[in-house]
């Protein structure tokens, strides 16, 4: 009985020693591999972050380009609407007449002043104009048409009328304004320029 007990007691330390040796061997053999795996995981995570940031930046740049292009297209559409490809005199005179009625302008008259310079000499702020050294053929230019308005009104009506001119559907610029006081009313004379596009 005693010898059997000793044999059992002798096996237990050996088994524990073998188990400890196995665990130590595992850590000695596989610990470097585990560190390498953890390092690779961290590197992959860092690369994923870099890729995500790059994709985000690329998306923002693309959206910015699209937004800028849309703004330029809107400006071009506004220009083409306010500076048509034909004089469209009938619609222009109708718009000026509507503005005169809206601001209570009395004894309203509209005439074309004698041209002091060639109409081709007029210039408007054309954002689509080509550079000076571009070929003249096919180049788009602007042509000026002048109108003289005469009417009677109050100071307030005159001010509101002048304030609305830059917001008209057509591009209109004020060349001159003169005001004369009379006994019964104030007489004003305004010279306007309207513009349309031509292709030379």
Q: How far apart are CA 28 and CA 34, in angstroms?
A: 11
The confidence band for 24, taking pLDDT boundaries of 50, 70 and 90, is: low
Span 124-161, pLDDT tens digits: 554 444 344 444 556 778 899 999 999 999 889 999 99
The mean per-residue pLDDT over the stretch 30-40 comes to 66
- Locate 46 and state its tokens: 């860092």
Task: Output b/e per residue, 156-177; b: 16+ Cβ within 10 A.
Answer: ebbeebeeeeeebebbbbeeee
Locate all alpha helices (DSSP H) within the chain, ordered by sequence. Answer: 2-82, 89-102, 155-164
What does the mean pLDDT of the chain come to?
Answer: 76
The mean per-residue pLDDT over the stretch 109-134 comes to 55
| pTM of this prediction exceeds 0.75 | no
pLDDT at 115 over 80: no
Higher pLDDT, 30 or 53: 53
DSSP string for 142-188: EEEEEEEEEEEE-HHHHHHHHHHGGGSSS-EEEEEEEEEE-SS-EEE
The confidence band for 199, taking pLDDT boundaries of 50, 70 and 90, is: confident
pLDDT at 22 over 50: yes
pLDDT at 47 over 50: yes
Q: How far apart are CA 196 and CA 200, in angstroms?
A: 13
Q: What percentage of the chain carries pLDDT values higher than 90?
A: 30
CATH code for residues 89-118+135-199: 3.30.70.60
């Amino acid at each position: 009985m005693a010898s059997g007990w000793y044999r059992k007691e002798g096996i237990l330390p050996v088994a524990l020693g073998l188990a400890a040796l196995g665990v130590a061997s595992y850590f000695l053999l596989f610990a470097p591999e585990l560190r390498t795996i953890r390092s690779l995981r961290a590197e992959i995570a860092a690369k994923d972050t870099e890729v995500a940031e790059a994709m985000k930046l690329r998306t923002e740049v693309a959206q910015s380009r699209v937004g800028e292009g849309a703004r330029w297209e809107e400006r071009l559409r506004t220009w083409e609407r306010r500076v048509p490809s034909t004089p469209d005199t009938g619609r222009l005179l109708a718009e000026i007449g509507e503005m005169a009625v809206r601001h209570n302008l009395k004894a309203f008259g509209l005439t074309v002043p004698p041209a002091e310079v060639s109409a081709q000499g007029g210039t408007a702020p054309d954002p689509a104009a080509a550079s000076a050294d571009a070929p003249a053929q096919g180049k788009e230019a602007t042509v000026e048409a002048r109108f003289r308005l005469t009417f009677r009104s109050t100071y307030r009506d005159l001010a509101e009328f002048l304030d609305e001119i830059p917001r008209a559907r057509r591009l209109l610029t004020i060349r001159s304004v003169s005001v004369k006081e009379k006994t019964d009313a104030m007489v004003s004379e305004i010279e306007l320029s309207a513009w349309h596009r031509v292709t030379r």
